[in-house]
Amino acid sequence: MSARKTLDDARGIESWIINLRRQFHRRPELKYEEHETSALVRRTLDELGISYRAPIAETGVLATLGPKDGPCVALRADMDALPIHEEADVDFRSETPGKMHACGHDCHTAMLLGAARLLKEHESTLKGPVKLLFQPAEEGGAGADRMCQEKVLDAPRVQRIFGLHVWPTIPVGSIGSRTGTFLASAGEIDIVVHGLGGHAAMPQYTKDPVPAAAAIVTALQTLISRELDPLDSGVISITCFNAGSAYNVIPNDVHLKGTVRSLTLAGLKQLQERITSCAQSIAAAYRCTADVSFPGNDYPPTVNDAHCWELTQQIAANAIGAERVVQMAPVMGGEDFAYYVENGVPGCFVALGIGNRELGCVHSVHTPKFKVDESALAIGTALHVDFALRSQDELAG
């Protein structure tokens, strides 16, 4: 089956895919809370006659098609939403205040279900098993790591894995990625500066943590500008500065939160060490102390296999045209798809263009006005199908 034919087939079920996406969109759920989402995935798989194992990693689902033996390929979609109140101008807005699919995981899940439907129609032609990974908790929960710990890559062992992510900065009808490191290693920063509060009119009797914290925020940027090789990439962003609640009271503590990123895990660890020493030294200079921690998970960088990206380009060129394949620079966003390839499975993570100025699809992910050109969903569905079919053809020799 040609890539063009696969795309035509995907467009033939486009309304079905979009309807699923909108159901997911209306009922967003945060990491490890994707109970309704998982239930809809399972009901859809039941309707398609596709077997699955659940729950995995609390709310995840592992579906499998094809024969038990032969080359095994995995396709992955994440399911969780974000704690953002939706402001997008769509008829199917989130029905849950303060929660929104602001990163397109509703699209990812719907596209993989679309691929499941098409692969089921051609199941007799599959040369080996195809695993469909419906994964929870990409947003800070390292759901991919949990899925790997629960052996989704084994029995049978996955030989290649592919993932898609909707991408508003490239136009709809296009895809993009690169060989090697595509996305950054990422972690969280938590700093509490402890001082001694008191009356704001008498600062001499206090140990004011506010200027100490402000100095820390400013100084951390010099770790990027003055200590990092100018040819390397790194990010330190302090995104929360919480201190006090009154006009005339100096608080005892200031709480800082943020993110740190590097294109290597070693670079991330180095920045974490310097953040700790810098924050503690500056706090001491202001007669304060600082507790520094890096909660959550240190995501490894997402590194694409060269051949998997080459195959992706071939598939996309046949389906949508070589001129619509974008060679992208590394991006400092993080992705827990990295855990699958870190577990020794060659893979490729691909950006799927959804940008369309005429439809207002111009806003970044992780923002309340994020919006998707849904014509991209058929393209993503078709790519998933061909990732599996072409990989099995190659691996079967």
> Which of 390, 319, 320 is CA-nearest to residue 348?
390
Distance in angstroms (rounded) separating the CA atoms of residues 109 and 120: 16
**Level-2 CATH architecture, domain 185-293:** 2-Layer Sandwich (3.30)
- Judge whether residue 3 has pLDDT over 90: no
Q: Is cis: bond before 136, omega within 30 of 0?
A: no
Phi, psi angle pair for 117, to nearest 5°: -65, -45
The mean pLDDT value for 191-215 works out to 98
CA distances, 8 to each of 14, 114, 115 (Å): 10, 13, 13
pLDDT classification of 114: cutoffs 50, 70, 90: very high
Domain map of the chain by residue range?
3-183+301-396, 185-293
- Judge whether residue 355 has pLDDT over 80: yes
pLDDT, tens only, 150-171:
999 999 999 999 999 999 999 9
Distance in angstroms (rounded) separating the CA atoms of residues 82 and 94: 11
- Judge whether residue 13 has pLDDT over 80: yes
Return mean pLDDT, the chain: 97
Helix axes 376-396, 14-26, angle to 10 degrees: 110
- Judge whether residue 359 has pLDDT over 80: yes
- Judge whether residue 1 has pLDDT over 90: no
Q: What is the pTM of this model?
A: 0.94
- Judge whether residue 397 has pLDDT over 90: no
Q: Is cis: bond before 156, omega within 30 of 0?
A: yes
The mean pLDDT value for 330-354 works out to 97
The mean pLDDT value for 217-235 works out to 95
Distance in angstroms (rounded) separating the CA atoms of residues 305 and 348: 6
CA distances, 249 to each of 11, 49, 191, 196, 286 (Å): 62, 64, 21, 11, 18
pLDDT, tens only, 273-295:
999 999 999 999 999 999 999 99
- Judge whether residue 2 has pLDDT over 90: no
Residue 67 near residue 118 (C-beta atoms within 8 A): no
Superfamily of domain 3-183+301-396: Zn peptidases (3.40.630.10)
How many residues in the chain? 397
pLDDT, tens only, 33-63:
999 999 999 999 999 999 999 999 999 999 9
Distance in angstroms (rounded) separating the CA atoms of residues 379 and 145: 28
Distance in angstroms (rounded) separating the CA atoms of residues 254 and 213: 7
pLDDT classification of 78: cutoffs 50, 70, 90: very high
pLDDT classification of 120: cutoffs 50, 70, 90: very high
Residue 100 near residue 82 (C-beta atoms within 8 A): yes
At position 72, the amino acid (one-letter code) is C
